[in-house]
Amino acid sequence: MDKKVGIVSCYFKKNYGSMLQAYATQKILDDWGIPNETIHLEKLNSEISKGKRKYYKSQLFNFSFIKAKFGMVKLKLYCKFANGELGKNIKIRNQKFKEFEKKFHLSKSYDKIETICQEGNYTDVLVGSDQLWLPVNIVADYYTLNFVPEEVNKISFATSFGVSSVPEKYKKQYQTFLNRIEHLSVREDKGVQLVKELTGREAELVCDPTLLFNQEEWREIQAEERLIKERYIFCYFLGKTVEYRKFAERLKEKTGFKIVSLNHLDEYVKYSDKFADEAPFDVGPSEFLNLIRNAEFVCTDSFHGTVFSLIHQKKFFVFRRYQNKSKVSTNSRLDSLLKIVNLSDRMLEGNEAVDELVEKEIDYDWVNEKLEKFREESKTFLRGALENGKN
């Protein structure tokens, strides 16, 4: 039987990291000549959303959860009622994401989750990467691959739990779906630990799909010319911490480089309008890569902001979006990545003086050697999972 892989990913989410990791998952299979398609969720979204709504209802009295989601709600309300211009700009950005979505070879739009494999004739179904194993998605029951029949090979590639601990009430559900997946890999140390605790199995630690490709390979989907002509500091902050933006201002004062920032991504942050010299909105995933590639410095609290800074060999500073004690913290993936390349000292608090940090170089020959080793080990896992199938 000829191989055909169905990819379960968050290809549609208007988030640079989500879309680029989904694209990278498709690209590696394309490069290997393995027929694949990303499972199209157009008709299935309402079915999946039912499960999500059930989870959200259960969290109505969970203060940390409500607090984490409040920023997104506030941004939507602000655009609708207080700042129509910002709303128009976000529509421009969303359109750039929609254009990038055309790069995916999507399956037909299935009517029911349980008919996906039968109608798609998939020999393998691969889930990954991104924070697809958050509790909300376990309740929604799509990224679990529970819909995939026993006879179809199930692979997790670099999937993230997105949390540092699993709620007690969902542990049984986690155990059940994890034990059905034949080839299990995650993208952070904490994920390896959680799989071990829940199932006793040894999950493979692999790189995020975006790290499967080097700088030259990522240039294939971005314009060669610079989007910003002057020298600049690129800021990509998803959180609202003002201190991090003030660090960028001190960096600007020291270097004389302007600040280019992608503003109001996950939530509205008033200070962002103040600190940025330029805040473009016509930026999709391809333009995002260009902005990182041509920056003098990158300041980010994002995992994928850090990934692409490493790939493009930038001087970068990374900050924690969440406090480590936060129940919604996703810091573990950043910690794992920085540990692998021995750059944990690039993680800052935001109150540091910039004078010495500006001069601190990164040995990218050494970093690239580490990344290449990690890249090849991850490819070996994925090739083996596809070739060995159900064993």
Q: How far apart are CA 286 and CA 295, in angstroms?
A: 15
- Position 52 scores a pLDDT of 76
- Position 326 scores a pLDDT of 44
Q: How far apart are CA 155 and CA 153, in angstroms?
A: 7
Q: How far apart are CA 188 and CA 131, in angstroms?
A: 11
Q: How far apart are CA 213 and CA 166, in angstroms?
A: 31
Residues in the chain: 391
- Position 63 scores a pLDDT of 58
**Ranges of the chain with pLDDT below 50:** 324-329
**Hey, which bits of the chain come out as E strands?**
5-8, 36-40, 106-109, 124-127, 153-159, 183-186, 204-205, 232-236, 258-261, 297-300, 315-319, 347-348
Round to the nearest angstrom and report the end-to-end CA distance of the chain: 15
Determine the 3-state secondary structure of 63 from DSSP.
Answer: helix
- Position 69 scores a pLDDT of 60
Nearest in space to 378 (alpha carbons), one of 186, 181, 97, 132: 186
- Position 57 scores a pLDDT of 72
- Pairing relation of β-strands 297-300 and 258-261? unpaired
Q: Encode 312-346: b = buried (16+ Cβ within 10 Å), e = exposed.
A: bebbbbbbbbbeeebbbbbbbbbbbbbebbebeeb
**Can you say whether residue 128 is alpha, beta or left, with left for phi > 0 and alpha for psi between -120 and 50 degrees?**
left
- Position 50 scores a pLDDT of 76
Which tens digit of pLDDT belongs to each residue from 72-124?
A: 666 777 677 667 789 999 999 999 999 999 999 999 999 999 999 999 999 99
- Position 1 scores a pLDDT of 56
- The residues near 61 (Cβ < 8 Å, ≥ 6 apart) are none
- Position 95 scores a pLDDT of 97
Q: How far apart are CA 303 and CA 310, in angstroms?
A: 11
